[in-house]
């Protein structure tokens, strides 16, 4: 038996799969902008600062690649 959440997830997935590739990219970018705006409002930051804060969080704790270490020195 499928739950209501499962059915909604299925319907959303089907709707997205009917979109063209360029429409899916546009949807992804608009969702990212929406989430950055929500993050900024929650933390009382302007949009550009919210995006920078998200990027810093994404990079925190990541190991630099050997390639980048060789380039940087």
pTM for the complete prediction? 0.65
Encode pLDDT of 8-38 as tens digits. 999 999 999 999 999 999 999 999 999 999 9
Tokens 């925190």: give the residue.
60
Q: Please state the domain count of the chain.
A: 1
Q: Which two tokens stand for residue 14?
A: 């089907």
Minimal CA–CA distance to 51: which of 27, 25, 26, 33?
Answer: 33
Domain around 49 = 4-72
Residue predicted with more confidence, 1 or 52? 52
Task: Give CA–CA dist 32/15, Å, rounded.
Answer: 18
């Amino acid at each position: 038996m499928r739950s209501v959440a499962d059915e909604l997830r299925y319907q959303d997935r089907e709707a997205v799969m009917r979109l063209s590739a360029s429409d899916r990219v546009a949807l992804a970018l608009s969702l990212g902008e929406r989430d950055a705006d929500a993050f900024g409002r929650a933390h009382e930051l302007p949009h550009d600062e919210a995006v920078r804060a998200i990027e810093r969080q994404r990079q925190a704790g990541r190991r630099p690649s050997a390639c980048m270490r060789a380039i940087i020195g």
